[in-house]
């Protein structure tokens, strides 16, 4: 939290792990947010106190707190938009997808004044520039398309609709009572940072101010970090790097850049584009022999797992089928099994195993809790993973394929487990701390006391970005590659009296 007339910002204790679109209550006394560690929509008072859980969610991609003390939100694991009381309870559906019109998701709801209608985005595929901004009455369900090609709609009390198209802040005159736009949309010059799922980093106050993050805030550096925390920035231009994985020989990186996967040759300092089909390709995972890369893709509709030859000599081949999103995480050392996470709206995040020999999909952990980041041990006999069964995420190890006892590795919260290639150590993260635990995997499993290797402000894993672990361990087991926001801070721009300026720049008939 930061007052505009103060240079100091103060963290809200209890919001560690908050991800995506904090939303104020209409009276400004509360803020709702998504906790990516617990997979919960939560709220807390801005003056302090413990957070309160409202509902479980796979990932929130837009939320709006209405004047009737309900919160409208979009969950990546569920079709359509949902509504829940601000005191919790059972969510209810307020929109339904029309698959006959090619609708893939409803996202970024924004309640209009009076609480009788809302704005939201209908996506057709995952490219936000192919989306529609629509308005819908909550009582009758009457819907009106307002904009073709845009995302993240916000109502401007001065009588406009603001949205983002290709990173540009756009404005169009809007009649909120009749739910219709007038005049063409106008580019008002501010470049706005965009990220996954069509998120745009800007907000409006009822008093006339605009706040936004320019695109430079999205730049991330790739950093090689040693066990003692010594950093070496890789010599590549900072960009919006997503999930990153090192090849088994340590020579190449598979990197998600925006919505596609690229290969970076560390020795030659050269980039090669890897994926070309589909609006979204994320989460690359090298096969143990380095010949294939598995990844998440929407090439054939719903996000499933594909693979293709790492040298680019073949196109993508689909590996999995199913009704829910699937994210690849780890290969068994013989390359015959692929552990992945499936996001199920009933059982939440589950761990599955794909058997390559016959393409059979086998459940490994499917409970009422979230389980993610499944990682095979170097000998293939153990699977490390994170689960929130205790009320917060901790790291566990179980024998594969089982049966056998379950071992809890972390004790003060833990996520993103990764094995040292020598099989004698397990890494994981607790907040900003990189943790290490000595382990024995033969003839039986045992784990020693966890210790902190280093601490730093690095990008963490989050389900909406299609990854469970936001770092990779180098083959020598002595270094890791992480992502770090470029510069010391992101820049946040505040424009006062923006509504008055808008009236001059976008007059009627523009």
The residue among 302 and 205 whose pLDDT is bigger is 205
CA 432 vs CA 14, 44, 83, 337, 459: distances in Å: 15, 22, 33, 31, 9
Average pLDDT over residues 68-87: 91
CA 263 vs CA 29, 110, 287, 415, 421: distances in Å: 47, 38, 14, 26, 22
Spatial CA neighbour of 378 closest among 417, 413, 342, 419:
419
Q: How far apart are CA 48 and CA 11, in angstroms?
A: 10
Q: pTM (2 decimals)? A: 0.69
pLDDT at 419 over 90: yes
pLDDT at 453 over 60: yes
Q: Note the pLDDT tens digit of each residue in 357-392.
A: 999 999 999 998 989 999 999 999 999 999 999 988
Report the Cα–Cα distance between both ends of the chain, in Å, rounded.
Answer: 37
114 in the Ramachandran plot: left (φ > 0), alpha (ψ -120 to 50) or beta? Answer: left
Q: Note the pLDDT tens digit of each residue in 146-160.
A: 999 999 999 998 889
Average pLDDT over residues 321-329: 89
Q: pLDDT grade, residue 218 (50/70/90)?
A: low
Count CB-CB contacts under 10 A for residue 357: 7
CA dihedral 279, 282, 285, 287 (to 10 degrees): 0
Q: What does the pLDDT read at residue 463?
A: 45
Q: How confident is the prediction for the chain on average, in pLDDT?
A: 89
Which of 253-257, 415-419, 486-490 shows the lowest mean pLDDT across its residues? 486-490
Question: Domains in the chain, please, with CATH?
Answer: 18-215+490-505 (2.120.10.30), 220-485 (2.120.10.30)
The residue among 422 and 10 whose pLDDT is bigger is 422
Q: Note the pLDDT tens digit of each residue in 103-162.
A: 888 999 999 999 999 999 998 876 777 899 999 999 999 999 999 999 999 999 888 999
In three-state form (DSSP H/G/I as H, E/B as E, the rest C), the secondary structure along 425-488 is EEEEEECCEEEEEEEECCCCCEECCCEEEEECCCCCCCHHHCCCCCCEECCCCCEEEEEEECCC
4 in the Ramachandran plot: left (φ > 0), alpha (ψ -120 to 50) or beta? Answer: alpha
Q: pLDDT grade, residue 509 (50/70/90)?
A: very low
Average pLDDT over residues 328-343: 95
- CB proximity list for 83: less than 8 A, separation 6 or greater: 70, 71, 72, 73, 91, 92, 93, 94
Q: What does the pLDDT read at residue 467?
A: 67
Q: Note the pLDDT tens digit of each residue in 79-92.
A: 799 999 999 999 99
pLDDT at 508 over 60: no
Q: What does the pLDDT read at residue 492?
A: 85
Q: How far apart are CA 98 and CA 82, in angstroms?
A: 16
Q: Note the pLDDT tens digit of each residue in 469-505.
A: 899 999 999 999 999 877 545 678 899 889 888 888 7
Q: How far apart are CA 237 and CA 31, in angstroms?
A: 36
Q: What does the pLDDT read at residue 464?
A: 43
Q: What does the pLDDT read at residue 348?
A: 82
């Amino acid at each position: 939290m930061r007052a505009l007339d103060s240079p100091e910002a103060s963290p809200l204790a209890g919001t560690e792990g908050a991800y995506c679109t904090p939303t104020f209550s209409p009276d400004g006394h509360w803020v709702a947010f998504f906790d990516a560690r617990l997979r919960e929509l939560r709220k807390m008072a801005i003056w302090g106190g413990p957070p309160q859980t409202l509902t479980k969610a796979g990932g929130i991609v837009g939320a709006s707190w209405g004047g009737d003390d309900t919160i409208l939100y979009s969950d990546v694991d569920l079709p359509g938009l949902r509504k829940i009381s601000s005191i919790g309870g059972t969510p209810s559906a307020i929109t339904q997808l029309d698959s006959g019109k090619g609708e893939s998701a409803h996202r970024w709801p924004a309640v209009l004044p009076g609480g009788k209608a809302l704005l939201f985005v209908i996506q057709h595929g995952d490219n936000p520039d192919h989306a529609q901004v629509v308005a819908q009455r909550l009582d009758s369900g009457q819907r009106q398309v307002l904009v073709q090609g845009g995302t993240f709609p916000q109502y401007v009390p001065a009588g406009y609709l603001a949205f983002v198209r290709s990173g540009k802040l756009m404005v169009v005159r809007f009649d909120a009572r009749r739910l219709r736009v007038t005049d063409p949309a106008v580019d008002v010059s501010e470049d706005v940072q965009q990220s996954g799922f069509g998120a745009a980093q800007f907000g409006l106050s009822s008093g006339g101010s605009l706040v936004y993050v320019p695109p430079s805030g999205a730049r991330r550096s790739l950093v090689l970090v040693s066990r003692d925390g010594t950093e070496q920035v890789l010599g590549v231009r900072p960009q919006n790097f997503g999930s990153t994985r090192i090849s088994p020989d340590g020579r190449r990186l598979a990197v998600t850049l925006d919505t596609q996967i690229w290969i970076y040759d560390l020795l030659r300092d050269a980039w090669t584009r890897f994926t070309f089909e589909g609006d979204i390709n994320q989460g690359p995972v090298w096969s143990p022999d380095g010949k294939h890369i598995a990844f998440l893709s929407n090439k054939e509709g719903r996000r499933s797992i594909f693979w293709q030859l790492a040298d680019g000599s073949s196109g993508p081949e689909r590996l999995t089928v199913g009704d829910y999103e699937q994210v690849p995480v780890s290969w068994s050392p013989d390359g015959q099994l692929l552990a992945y996470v499936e996001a199920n709206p009933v059982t939440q995040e589950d761990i599955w195993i794909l058997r390559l020999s016959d393409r059979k999909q086998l459940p490994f952990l499917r409970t009422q809790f979230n389980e993610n980041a499944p990682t095979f041990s170097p000998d293939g006999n153990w699977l490390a993973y994170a689960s929130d069964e205790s009320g917060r995420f901790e790291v566990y190890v179980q024998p594969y394929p089982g049966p056998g006892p379950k071992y809890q590795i972390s004790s003060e919260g833990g996520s993103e487990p990764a094995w040292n290639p020598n099989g004698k150590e397990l890494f994981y993260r607790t907040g900003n701390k990189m943790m290490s635990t000595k382990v024995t995997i033969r003839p039986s499993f045992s784990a020693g006391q966890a210790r902190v290797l280093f601490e730093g402000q690095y990008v963490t894993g989050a389900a909406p970005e299609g990854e469970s672990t936001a770092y990779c361990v180098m083959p020598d087991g002595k270094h890791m590659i992480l992502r770090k926001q470029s510069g010391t801070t992101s820049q946040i721009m505040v424009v006062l009296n923006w509504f008055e300026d808008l009236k001059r720049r976008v007059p009627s008939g523009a």
